[in-house]
Amino acid sequence: MTQRTLIKNLPAATDGPASVSGWVETVRDQKKVQFVVLRDESGAVQLVHPRLFAEDGTPEADPLAEAISALAQGTFLTASGELKHDERVKLGGVEIKLESLDIAAAAIPETPIADDSAGDKRMDWRFLDLRQPKNNLIFRIQTTLEHAWRTYWVENDFIELHTPKLMASASESKAELFEVGYFDTKAYLAQSPQFFKQMAQPAGFGKIFEVGPAFRADPSFTSRHATEFTSVDSEISWIDSHEDVMKLHEELLVAGFAAVKAKHGAEIEALWGVEVTVPTTPFPRIPLAEAKRIVAERGYEVPRQDDDMDPEGERQIAAYVKETFDHEFVFLTDYASSIRPFYHMRHDGDDSLTNSYDLIFNGVEISTGAQREHRVEVLVEQAKSKGLEPEELDFYLDFFRYGVPPHGGFGMGLSRVLMLMLHLSNIREATYLFRGPTRLLP
């Protein structure tokens, strides 16, 4: 049996016997010759079969031609024949003259979606939607991005954790909890690994990271929200302020974007029309109050009364940063303690502000980071100020009763980064299988 060759490797192969496996993308069934475009996970190739004719021009029995004529789009098969280089062939400058087809699984002729199908329809048939080269590329980029981040962490002596996703109490807002039955009691799906990654600091781990699922019972139907998402988290000890966390954050993103540009930059530009820009450091930093003033001067008043930035405000400050600094990222810093969790450290001398930030990328928030409060007596008072009962937080507060270094970290949404890198319109496009308030399938 001829060994299978990935289609992307055919241009470098020598002419001769070749075997490729994949799915049928198109069939051109002409009078004298048949063409099949076959695609695998690495690319597409043209298969060609001249029909058989007698010397007098009458068609001869041709079982291979009949098999080709019966092929439906999406059929998975193995094609064997003679590889030939021909610069006139648009698909990689090579084609395979067919000798045999081995059909692994025939497809139903009528496909349920087309390239212009609406988003919900495409999500219903996601496995077919993902056959498109553009969509396939997204998850190759994701793999490269995660690998580059993990390489950065490992080379800088971080420890990888896998924290529980079943919890006895909330890690963030009680309003966004998914409750599940747990034997004779109840549990909650983790909204973030926040408490557990902080626990690693008094454990003496120093620097940790995790890439894992998180769950938010948020009934939002926006283009950037999901009920289940992949959270990218990191936490480090012995920091002086949230500046140290921001430095880690920007170095990590530079490493990831550099790897994506090097490996996929040309393909991203060809398929998506987007040039990946490796950000320069340091990223611009703007205190939130100043950012709101800048946005107001641009003609937009942020209507929210909770000291936060709304989506239009994020877009406006991102536009300002692009115009002023030619940068796609900006840290908005110094958020009010009224809208930050009780565990964010507050400014020395100004209890109304926190040592925290949001990271905005191309007009959308992708992350929140902060220096954490590590003094247990301060944590207790800040929890009380948020209406929380310290007794309900005893398991968390215990982390701080036996010594913990100054520390901080961030959580970042993987799919949001991909969505904004590729200028996609919806986070569903950058998620393998999206979960939202009305979607649990496939």
pLDDT of residue 383: 93
216 is in an annotated binding site: yes
Q: Residue-wise pLDDT tens for the chain (442 aa)? A: 557 899 999 999 999 999 999 999 999 999 899 999 999 999 999 999 999 888 888 888 899 999 999 999 999 999 999 999 999 999 999 999 999 999 999 999 998 988 778 789 999 999 999 999 999 999 999 999 999 999 999 999 999 999 999 998 876 667 789 999 999 999 999 999 999 999 999 999 999 999 999 999 989 889 999 999 999 999 999 999 999 999 999 999 999 999 999 999 999 999 999 999 999 999 999 999 999 999 999 999 998 767 789 999 999 999 999 999 999 999 999 999 999 999 999 999 899 999 999 999 999 999 999 999 999 999 999 999 999 989 888 999 999 999 999 999 999 999 999 999 999 999 999 999 999 999 999 9
Q: Which fold has domain 7-105?
A: OB fold (Dihydrolipoamide Acetyltransferase, E2P) (2.40.50)
224 is in an annotated binding site: no
pTM to 2 decimal places: 0.93
Phi/psi-derived region of residue 436, left when phi > 0, alpha when psi is between -120 and 50, beta in every other case: beta
**Amino acid symbol at 90:** K
pLDDT of residue 116: 76
Quote the DSSP letter at residue 200. Answer: T
Asked if 214 and 229 count as a contact pair (C-beta separation under 8 A), the reply is yes
pLDDT of residue 119: 84
pLDDT of residue 76: 98
391 is in an annotated binding site: no
Report the relative pairing of strands 94-105 and 159-160 from DSSP bridges. Answer: unpaired
Tokens of 64: 């291979």
pLDDT of residue 303: 86
416 is in an annotated binding site: yes
Domain limits of the chain? 7-105, 126-430
Closest of 245, 421, 400, 217 to residue 333, by C-alpha: 245
Q: Which fold has domain 126-430?
A: BirA Bifunctional Protein; domain 2 (3.30.930)
The continuous run of DSSP H or E covering 379 comes out as helix 376-385
pLDDT of residue 172: 65
pLDDT of residue 272: 95
39 is in an annotated binding site: no
